[in-house]
Amino acid sequence: MKFRKLLSAAILFFAAFFVRGVEVVNAGHSGWNSRQLREIFRQELDKNRPDLIILMVGTNDNLNSYNLVPPEEFEKNLTAMALPASLHRFILQPWSLLSYMFMHAGFLHILFNMLWLYWFGSLFLYFFSGKHLRGLYVLGGICGGLFYMIAYNIFPYFSQTLPFSTLVGASASVLAIVAATAYREPNYRVQLFLFGAVRLKYLALIVIGTDLLFITSNNAGGHIAHLGGALAGLWFAASLSKGKDVTYWINWFLDGFASLFQKKTWKRKPKMKVHYGSDTSREKDYDYNARKKAQSDEVDRILEKLKKSGYESLTTEEKKSLFDASKR
């Protein structure tokens, strides 16, 4: 009990310290096990409507003598969310290609992934939109997972571990965001503790090179997934520079799925009414269109300056205008 309280306090501390302006809700209940969590999880989602969920479960399954979960059921509840390397197991749980990127193997695993996501996600939003971030997170996770399964099923080196290997973690999704940002603005400098200012392109190369060096380590699956996520980020950034958004289909699906839970989707649409506009309304329309055109011209000017001189050449007002435009 004391350990769980300390762990919960540590999570809330790091979330409050590193993620400013975010409300943290601790929806955990003492004594829950994975079986109870599965039953009450939807109720908590409907109640709090969170943007980010940190899910930790498992301690009570073996310690709660009043409602003990058998080891077989405990393993089944958790592995059902992890991505298996075996294609035969994947056919039985295809949802794991999405669920695995929201699961983690431990506290430090999720902590460092979320720190990387916060730091590079904030930087990513200076150059891309929020929908791009959401779509690329999912695309990077999917590509990383597919890369992982393909490698394990093709290379004989993994044949002995293939039947029981699984993958969890957001690392592939985060690496996709890092690679896309580095491709978009390779000479942008970030301050690293003990190392000083480092260009994004060098940081991305170091991370990818590390994954290549340790591809035969105990965490080979994780490093392979990282490479798949990085390739997805490069694919996204390169395609977007040519006018093609490879995350469009993901955002289209997610928006459509989310609309199913909105009340206005199920409301009966009122009959169309025709209003004859007055001179005043036409004047308001003219002012609105003129203002939108001015904003569009300003964003185009800032983007052109960004392309020629880099992000550091922008003023504070220009950075704010670019950030506001990405939210619209």
**Burial (Cβ within 10 Å: 0-12, 13-18, ≥19) of residue 110:** buried
Cα–Cα distance measured from residue 148 to residue 195, given in angstroms and rounded to the nearest whole number: 32
Domain positions in the chain are 1-79, 93-265, 268-327
- Total residues found in the chain within this entry: 328
Tell me the residue ranges of DSSP E strands in 4-154. 83-84
pLDDT at position 108 is 86
**Burial (Cβ within 10 Å: 0-12, 13-18, ≥19) of residue 314:** middle
Nearest to 82 by CA among 58, 50, 105, 66: 105
Distance from the first to the final alpha carbon of the chain? 46
What's at 326, amino acid-wise? Answer: S
> b vs e for 218-255, b when ≥16 Cβ sit within 10 Å of the residue's Cβ?
ebbbbbbbbbbbbbbbbbbbeebeeeebbbeebbeeee
pLDDT at position 283 is 46
Tell me the CATH number for domain 93-265: 1.20.1540
E strand or H helix that includes residue 196 = strand 196-199
In the chain, the largest separation of any two C-alpha atoms, in whole Å, equals 77
pLDDT at position 23 is 72
Nearest to 48 by CA among 19, 77, 21, 28: 28
For 215, the 3-state DSSP assignment is: coil
What's at 185, amino acid-wise? Answer: E
Nearest to 306 by CA among 328, 322, 317: 322
pLDDT at position 2 is 46
pLDDT at position 136 is 95
Q: pTM value?
A: 0.62
- SS3 annotation, 233-278: HHHHHHHHHCCCCCCHHHHHHHHHHHHCCCHHHHCCCCCCCCCCCC
pLDDT digits (tens, 9 = 90+) for 126-150: 889 889 999 999 999 999 999 999 9
Grouped pLDDT means (10 residues each) for the chain, 328 residues: 51 52 68 65 74 62 54 71 91 92 86 89 90 94 95 90 89 94 88 80 88 82 92 94 91 86 62 54 57 74 74 75 70
